[in-house]
Structure 1
């Protein structure tokens, strides 16, 4: 999995498939009147990693390898590539780019960013969730989640 670090609150996640390409789940931004928010209409895209970075840092981050057994690499790549062009329903908390990437690697959709934000909100830290949403929403016209 590739983690593209957009801010201190938010990273975009993708699956590396080789030759500089990633497969990732994105959504279009919608102006809600108060701010730009992610749309429920998401799509799976294959793009060059360098075209998605937007001057952000990135790293390989298979952070759940000790908790879950990764699927074989060829299975991950085939499954991710088979989804390119698919339309999926996007949800910031229930199915975002990190859920997509972990689902391809481990066959389970998990988002630690969402879990951390939920813990922050439960502890009275609504600023954490607000920062996560704001960072995720202002990156560019197409929101890479």
Structure 2
């Protein structure tokens, strides 16, 4: 699945976000997600605190707010990808329904939970109808692998101690 990368608000015509596309913002250690409501604006779940719009994390507390902002403002000067609806493997909701629901939610405050109710859950629920977060699943898989190797290391040390002495 191809993704177009942008660095500023000057976009080539074929790379402009279409209504209902997922927009993935690169934050370094994680990705922030929103839904394009037109070629220059995104609706996303972010911090309800107006003073934290440029903090390191997209939402630093238990409360979040649905906001409509310019894509370039949400990008914070970082790279972002437009994940085209037509290129997704999952079935997408109708663009008009996505936009209507996204616009209706602007200004709503809701609880935020990194593992169960984050910006990716919010955006994917609007586009696909399922609140899923691939980042959380990937992190859980990595944690399982790390745990497995940690257990294997401890077991190897124990076996080494038994045979050594």
Separation in structure 1 between the aligned mates of residue 99 and residue 136 of structure 2, nearest angstrom: 25
Separation in structure 1 between the aligned mates of residue 47 and residue 62 of structure 2, nearest angstrom: 7
Alpha-carbon RMSD across the aligned residues, in angstroms, is 2.1
SS of the residue corresponding to residue 45 of structure 1 reads strand
Equivalent residue, structure 2, for 1:123:
145
Structure with the higher strand share, 1 or 2: 1
Q: TM-score under structure 1 normalisation?
A: 0.74
Runs (4 or more) in structure 1 with deviation over 3 Å come to none
Structure 2 gap ranges (5+): 1-21, 50-56, 148-165
Match 2:41 to one of 1, 21, 33: 21
Matches within 5 A, 1:44-83: 44-62=66-84, 65-66=88-89, 68-83=90-105
Structure with the higher helix share, 1 or 2: 2
Q: Deviations over 1:32-65 (max 9, x none)?
A: xxxx882110110000111111111011125893
Separation in structure 1 between the aligned mates of residue 60 and residue 141 of structure 2, nearest angstrom: 22
Larger-Rg structure: 2
Structure 1 gap ranges (5+): 30-35, 126-145
Equivalent residue, structure 2, for 1:105:
127
Q: Is the 8 A contact 2:32 2:119 kept in 1?
A: yes
Q: TM-score under structure 2 normalisation?
A: 0.65
Instruction: Give the paired residue count.
Output: 117
